[in-house]
Amino acid sequence: MITKSEIDALTSYPPSDSPVVSFYISLDPHERAEKTTLTELKNLLKTGQEEMARWPEKDHVKIALNLARIEEIVENERGGQSRGLAIFAGEKIWQIYHLPLSAGQRVVIDRTPYVKPLIQVFRRHPRYCAVLVDKERARLFIVQMSEIQDYSIVLSEVPKHHEQGGWAQSRLQRRHDDYVMHHLKRSAELSFDFFQHEGFDYLLIGGTDELTSAFYERLHTYLQERVVGFLPISTSASVHDVLEQTLEVMQEVEARLHRELLEKLQEETGQGRLGVTGLSATLRAINAYKVQHLLLEEGYQTAGGRCSDCGNLTVRTTGNCRYCQGKIERVDKLIGEAVELAYNQGAQVHFIEANQVLWDMERIGALLRYA
């Protein structure tokens, strides 16, 4: 599973004097239609060789060697479990990411890694954190794109409950209870530290009702806002069981969230307040940095334009920008550009299965931060 830290490291990679090859290939047979992996590989390698011709001759050997290494890697991956590969190869970098979903087909040779397709895959799929707590320990998992990573970052030693009688038992029980509450407080603090470093969208808490409630109360308010459900599961559960239960809750959570967001959007647009629907109105809201939640139909795509001067997006493919009178340049994948711009502004983006409510909204809409 790729992490936020890894993506941050790729995006902050300093420009190099030597070329960096960024190579993306789909291993998903449903996406490739009639083309085989081998055919796609040959096409991409040919593109890489054409890109190499634009570089100084002194760099040709480095690029050719990296393309040869990439070819070997991809050939060995055929028939494997990954649906996509992202490979970054250069003098000071060699990274291979096995993806559960395709990030498309592309080869780029530049002085820094081309990370945009990887970021798009990462952003599009919510990250769920599941924290399991009991009186003695806590375990932390991240689930994204049907993959799970066990971090188990919180392991607190808690004095055992003693069975002595009388005054000693009462004193030891109080000490034990204090340690349990301290353990939950410390687990909550470490969960917040993890959130600050790795980030996640939603939080699930597993354990008994008593302990999950006590743990929730000790969470930072930022994390309390992200709690979307509780798991009746023990800290001793297997990683497989944690994944199964988390995926089940994730489906319920996302269905509920999408339903509530659509209802909220209907209400806000109906009253002319903090909501817009339709592509033109939604693009205007994105251009104005107003969007808090962007809602769109899964798979929706169309062409449009972008101003060459100010960068604003429009449904028009030619003409002049309404904001600065700059020239509008055609964009074939307008929705993808709108999604990326919304992400960069801190908006939450929700891809929703086609339904009549969304269709009546012209397949796209947004809840706004301000009117």
Crossing angle of helices 209-217 and 166-198, in 10° steps, is 60
Domain range for 173 is 128-254
For the residues 338-349, what does the mean pLDDT come to? 93
Among 224, 254, 284, the domain-final residue is: 254
Integer-rounded Cα radius of gyration of the chain: 25
- The sign one gets for the Cα dihedral 66, 68, 73, 78 is positive
Residues 213 and 159 in one domain: yes
Is 45 contained in some domain?
yes
Is 262 contained in some domain?
no
**How is 198-214 classified by DSSP, letter by letter?**
H--SEEEEES-HHHHHH
Residues 73 and 117 in one domain: yes
For the question of whether the overall pTM of this predicted structure is more than 0.85, the answer is no
Distance, CA of 87 to CA of 78 (rounded, Å): 15
Q: Which of 213, 258, 241 is nearest to 143 (CA)?
A: 241
Provide the domain count of the chain: 3
Is 171 contained in some domain?
yes
Q: Which of 289, 301, 303 is nearest to 343 (CA)?
A: 289
Q: Which of 316, 338, 341 is nearest to 329 (CA)?
A: 316
Q: What is the three-class DSSP state of 158?
A: coil
Residues 183 and 132 in one domain: yes
Among 254, 284, 319, the domain-final residue is: 254
Among 102, 124, 146, the domain-final residue is: 124
Residues 120 and 157 in one domain: no
Distance, CA of 190 to CA of 192 (rounded, Å): 5
Is 120 contained in some domain?
yes
The phi, psi pair for 138, rounded to 5°, reads -140, 150
For the residues 205-223, what does the mean pLDDT come to? 95
Distance, CA of 275 to CA of 242 (rounded, Å): 37
Q: pLDDT tens digits for 61-82? A: 999 999 999 999 999 887 778 8
Is 233 contained in some domain?
yes
Q: pLDDT tens digits for 143-156? A: 999 999 999 764 45
CATH number, position 68: 3.30.960.10
Residues 155 and 250 in one domain: yes
